[in-house]
């Protein structure tokens, strides 16, 4: 007997858990290529409601950090690789 067909006596899946419209292996190719999955803490997730918002904020942070490094190295006369 498969795991999916085993049920506890009298228990049924809730209507909100209906998976009949699901697409099998929808994200398979993306994960096969290598995806970075990060779990956000609740306070962070409340601000960054989707992946686009998180990526935009991280890119802004990267840009600010790079500019600070450039300014610091130009003021000391050193260069970085």
The answer as to whether 2 is a domain residue is no
The parent domain of residue 53 ranges over: 15-76
Q: Indicate the range of 30-39, 46-55, 66-75 predicted with least confidence.
A: 30-39
The answer as to whether 5 is a domain residue is no
Give the integer Cα–Cα distance in Å for 74 and 81: 13
Give the pLDDT confidence score for residue 79 in this predicted structure.
Answer: 57
The answer as to whether 46 is a domain residue is yes
The model's pTM is 0.50
Instruction: Give the tokens for residue 56.
Output: 């935009």
Number of domains in the chain: 1
Residue-wise pLDDT tens digits, 20-47: 888 888 888 877 887 777 889 999 999 9
Give the integer Cα–Cα distance in Å for 52 and 8: 41
């Amino acid at each position: 007997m498969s795991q999916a067909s085993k049920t506890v006596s009298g228990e049924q899946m809730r209507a909100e858990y209906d998976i009949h419209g699901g697409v099998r292996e929808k994200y398979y190719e993306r994960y096969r290529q290598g995806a970075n999955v990060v779990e956000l803490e609740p306070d962070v997730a409340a601000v960054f409601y989707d992946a686009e918002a998180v990526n935009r904020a991280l890119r802004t942070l990267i840009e600010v950090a790079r500019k600070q490094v450039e300014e610091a190295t130009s003021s000391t006369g050193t260069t970085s690789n």
